[in-house]
């Protein structure tokens, strides 16, 4: 018998498992709204034009070799990534208070940050929003942190529970880490207003909590890179510590290239450089050093004025298509007279709509309409098109009535 005969079968990942089920469905009208990846109006994955151009430049450059990168990755990429999220004129950057390391997309950046905290920070508890992206709990727990939740979403208003949020952070132990979605909160699509961010910032600083931003959608929420970075910049602007995990999966469409960065903003340049020396000790035994290709694409785009401009236009076009899909779906439900208030579809921000549909209704829509989504009723607006909106609206209408 196999020495692994006792290995139990693990359940599918709750998000990636949706695609597994979708792939098995032979129906021609099937629709995958589970996956958090952009699709064109034709339902196809998109490689940005500007990414193709950058890749061409890289291929044509015969001086490029395949040597190992340093442990911290591509130096230009790190500098430019910090500039992108903090703003090039940020005093933290000017004062060399920021250390940035290239990591394996957003997930890898969160994990490296968490491993560093588990080793070098005095408070092991991290507060994450309820609900949040499903992987957060696992990433932080496996890094050795204790995960607790703070109230975030109010199902009644389908908006932010700011009172509950402030109460929960207010009663957290001094120094606790707080995970914040920089913009386009996943799965709810509900973000604090700038005034609410300011309240959150004051609470976090007054309790000496440590903010850890997850920035997976910069530019994807509003179409503006600076607009979507405002929450982070507000915190960095007050001069206290801050962690930021950045992903280029969505905003540059580099999903499978696994490009991201972890930035740690410190109070002095000396601390920042010592922190970086320890980040290297975290990374070296995990994967030694990161891959070259994706980070080189990003660096090529970010450092060239024309390519950068072209990227902002393509990014805005993706964000706009998602916003248009929100309007179409909202209108389609209004036209059908579907009972209930559906205005949250147009109020929510980013890739997802948190529909409010329950598990039973989701199961019904999958069974009867071949529409796939996570069981919490989250749908990816990026997976919709003008052609498929009516089918979804029919399904929601049938599930509700």
Q: Which is nearer to ligand PLP, 188 or 300 (CB)?
A: 188
Q: Is 216 in the site for ligand PLP (CB under 6 A)?
A: yes
- Binding marks (x or -) toward ligand PLP, 172..211, rule CB under 6 A? ---------x----x-------------------------
Q: How far is the CB of 249 from ligand PLP (least distance, A)?
A: 4
Q: How far is the CB of 91 from ligand PLP (least distance, A)?
A: 27
Is residue 342 annotated as part of the catalytic site, yes or no? no
Q: Which is nearer to ligand PLP, 138 or 280 (CB)?
A: 138
Choosing from 32, 81, 99, 107, the residue that interacts with ligand PLP (CB under 6 A) is 107
For the chain, helix, strand, coil in percent to 5 are: 45, 15, 40
- Short-list 39, 90, 350, CA closest to 214: 350
Is residue 133 annotated as part of the catalytic site, yes or no? yes
Cis check: omega of the bond before 7, within 30 degrees of 0: no
- Binding marks (x or -) toward ligand PLP, 130..159, rule CB under 6 A? ---x--------------------------
Q: Is 214 in the site for ligand PLP (CB under 6 A)?
A: yes
Q: Which of residues 77-106 bind ligand PLP (CB under 6 A)?
A: 105-106
Q: Is 218 in the site for ligand PLP (CB under 6 A)?
A: no
Is residue 250 annotated as part of the catalytic site, yes or no? yes
Q: Which of 53, 168, 191, 214 is catalytic?
A: 214
Q: Is 295 in the site for ligand PLP (CB under 6 A)?
A: no
Cβ atoms of 198 and 233 within 8 Å: the answer is no
Written as one string, the DSSP assignment of 176-203 is -EEEEESSS-TTT-----HHHHHHHHHH
337 by Cβ neighbours in 10 Å (0-12 / 13-18 / 19+) ranks as: exposed
Placement of tokens 């950058």 in the chain: 54
- Short-list 143, 89, 112, 88, CA closest to 243: 112
What's the CA gap between 171 and 159, in Å, rounded? 22
Q: How many CA atoms lie within 13 A of 276 on its CB side?
A: 23
What is the pairing mode between strands 146-151 and 125-130?
parallel
Q: How far is the CB of 93 from ligand PLP (least distance, A)?
A: 23
Strands (E), 51-165: 98-104, 125-130, 146-151, 153-154, 159-160
Angle between helices 75-86 and 293-303 (to 10 degrees): 60
Q: Which is nearer to ligand PLP, 31 or 351 (CB)?
A: 351
Q: Which is nearer to ligand PLP, 249 or 265 (CB)?
A: 249
Q: Is 111 in the site for ligand PLP (CB under 6 A)?
A: no
Choosing from 249, 272, 295, 325, the residue that interacts with ligand PLP (CB under 6 A) is 249
Q: Using the Cα atoms of residue 195, residue 88, residue 291 and residue 296 in order, give the sign of their dihedral.
A: positive
Q: Is 257 in the site for ligand PLP (CB under 6 A)?
A: no
Where along the sequence are the contacts to ligand PLP (CB under 6 A)?
Answer: 36, 105-107, 133, 181, 186, 214, 216, 247, 249, 255, 260
- Known catalytic residues are 133, 214, 250
């Amino acid at each position: 018998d196999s020495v692994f005969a006792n290995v139990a079968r693990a359940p599918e990942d709750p998000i990636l498992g949706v695609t597994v089920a979708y792939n098995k469905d032979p129906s021609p009208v099937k629709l995958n709204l589970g996956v958090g990846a952009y699709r064109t109006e034709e339902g196809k994955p998109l490689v940005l034009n500007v990414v193709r151009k950058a890749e061409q430049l890289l291929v044509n450059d015969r001086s490029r070799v395949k040597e190992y990168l340093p442990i911290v990755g591509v130096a230009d990429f790190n500098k430019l990534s910090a500039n992108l999220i903090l703003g090039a004129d940020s005093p933290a950057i000017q004062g060399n208070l920021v250390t940035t390391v290239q990591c394996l997309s957003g997930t890898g950046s969160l994990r490296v940050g968490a491993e560093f905290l588990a080793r070098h920070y005095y408070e092991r508890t991290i507060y994450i929003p309820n609900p949040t992206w499903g992987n957060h709990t696992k990433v932080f727990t496996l890094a050795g942190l204790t995960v607790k939740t703070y109230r975030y979403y109010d199902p009644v208003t389908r908006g932010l529970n700011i009172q509950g949020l402030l109460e929960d952070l207010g009663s957290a132990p001094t120094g606790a880490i707080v995970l914040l979605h920089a913009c386009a909160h996943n799965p709810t699509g509900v973000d604090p207003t700038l005034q609410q961010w300011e309240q959150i910032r004051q609470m976090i600083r007054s309790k000496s909590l440590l903010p850890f931003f997850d920035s997976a959608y910069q530019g994807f929420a509003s179409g503006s890179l600076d607009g979507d970075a405002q929450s982070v910049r507000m915190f960095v602007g007050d001069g206290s510590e801050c962690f930021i995990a950045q992903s280029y999966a969505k905003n540059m469409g580099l999903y499978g290239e696994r490009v991201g960065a972890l930035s740690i903003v410190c109070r002095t340049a000396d601390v920042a450089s010592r922190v970086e020396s320890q980040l290297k000790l975290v990374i070296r035994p995990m994967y030694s050093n990161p891959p070259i290709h994706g980070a080189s694409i990003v660096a090529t785009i970010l450092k060239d004025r024309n390519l950068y401009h072209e990227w902002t236009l393509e990014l805005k076009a993706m964000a706009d298509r998602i916003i248009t899909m929100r309007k179409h779906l909202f209108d389609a439900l209004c036209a059908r007279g579907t009972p209930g208030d559906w205005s949250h579809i147009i109020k929510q921000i980013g890739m997802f709509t948190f529909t409010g549909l329950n598990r039973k209704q989701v199961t019904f829509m999958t069974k009867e309409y071949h529409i796939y989504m996570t069981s919490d009723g989250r749908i990816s607006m990026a997976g919709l098109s003008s052609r498929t909106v009516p089918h979804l609206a029919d399904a929601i209408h049938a599930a509700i009535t």
